[in-house]
């Protein structure tokens, strides 16, 4: 068939937010793994949509590995930023990491679409995507297209909407 256009995506966000679970769910069911463990360093994953072939840098969100993120910024053409909507205590840490990312010289003046997943929407005390977007001050992002979706990565809910947006925006 026709070779799909390749897009490099950085998957970022705090540890335990659900990055690997999301990327795993975007793969065909026969390629999905059952047991997801915390990512060490990073892992390169691939998935396809109707018109694109995505290569994802699934980065570890653990504090001791976050300094690896910036080494891949130049490579990335788009960002998937995952937030645990139920982790209210660390929302401020997620915002700090996002602000550091947005101010990085390899990111700052580029038109890089950012897809936010307000993940774990299934948990009873999860914040809405509107609330997450307010706490992260997403309306201040003026120089990049962005979109936020509520998701439940375990059930796979909300993921398609996000990926459809990304496919139409990169
Ligand atoms: P690091 O690799 O350490 O940065 O974490 P990560 O962001 O890749 O998180 P991971 O995908 O490993 O998921 C962490 C935990 O959250 C796992 O136990 C997942 O099953 C769980 N999880 C992920 N998404 C959801 C969700 O939408 N709802 C619920 N309830 N649990 C989720
Ligand atoms: Mg992971």
Q: What is the pLDDT of residues 154-168, one digit of tens each?
A: 999 999 999 999 999
* Ligand 1 centroid – CA 123 distance (Å): 12
Mean pLDDT score across all residues of the chain:
97
User: Looking at the predicted structure, is the pLDDT value of residue 36 above 80?
Assistant: yes
Contact 145, 111 (CB under 8 A): yes
Task: Provide the ipTM.
Answer: 0.99
- Answer yes or no: is the C-beta of 24 below 6 A from any ligand 1 atom: no
- pTM: predicted TM-score of the whole model, two decimal places: 0.98
Nearest residue (by CA) to ligand 1, atom 14, is: 16
| pLDDT tens, position by position, 131-147 | 999 999 999 999 999 99
| CA-based end-to-end distance of the chain | 22
pLDDT band for 2, please (50, 70, 90 cuts). Answer: confident
Choice among 62, 77, 160, 167 that is catalytic = 62
Q: What is the pLDDT of residue 119?
A: 99
Protein residue closest via CA to atom 10 of ligand 1: 18
Per-residue pLDDT at 20? 98
pLDDT for position 123: 98
- pLDDT recorded at residue 127: 98
What sign results for the dihedral spanned by CA atoms 47, 52, 58, 61? negative
Please state the atom number of ligand 1 nearest to the C-alpha of residue 37: 12
The yes-or-no answer on residue 62 being catalytic is yes
Cα of 1 vs centre of ligand 1, distance in Å, is 35
Which residues are within 8 A (CB) of 1 and not within 5 positions of it... i.e. 6 or more apart?
A: none
pLDDT, residue 107, reads 98
Ligand 2 centre and the CA of 1: distance in Å? Answer: 32
Q: In this structure, which residues have their CB less than 5 angstroms from ion ligand 2?
A: 19-20, 39
The pLDDT-based confidence of 115 (bands split at 50, 70, 90) is: very high
Contact status, residue 104 vs residue 70, Cβ threshold 8 Å: yes
């Amino acid at each position: 068939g026709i070779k799909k256009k390749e897009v490099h995506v950085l998957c970022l966000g705090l540890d335990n937010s659900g990055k690997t679970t999301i990327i795993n769910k975007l793969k065909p069911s026969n390629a999905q793994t059952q047991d997801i463990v915390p990512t060490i360093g990073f892992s390169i994953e691939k998935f396809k949509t109707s018109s694109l072939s995505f290569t994802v840098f699934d980065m570890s969100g653990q504090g001791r590995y976050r300094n690896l993120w910036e080494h891949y910024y130049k490579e990335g053409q788009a960002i998937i930023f995952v937030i645990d909507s139920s982790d209210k205590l660390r929302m401020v840490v997620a915002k700090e990491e996002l602000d550091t990312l947005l101010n990085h010289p390899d990111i700052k003046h580029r038109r890089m679409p950012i897809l936010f997943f307000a993940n774990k929407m299934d948990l009873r005390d999860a914040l809405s995507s509107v609330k997450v977007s307010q706490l992260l001050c997403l309306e201040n992002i003026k120089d990049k297209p962005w979109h936020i979706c509520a998701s439940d990565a375990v059930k796979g809910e909300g993921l398609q909407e996000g990926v459809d947006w990304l496919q139409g925006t990169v």
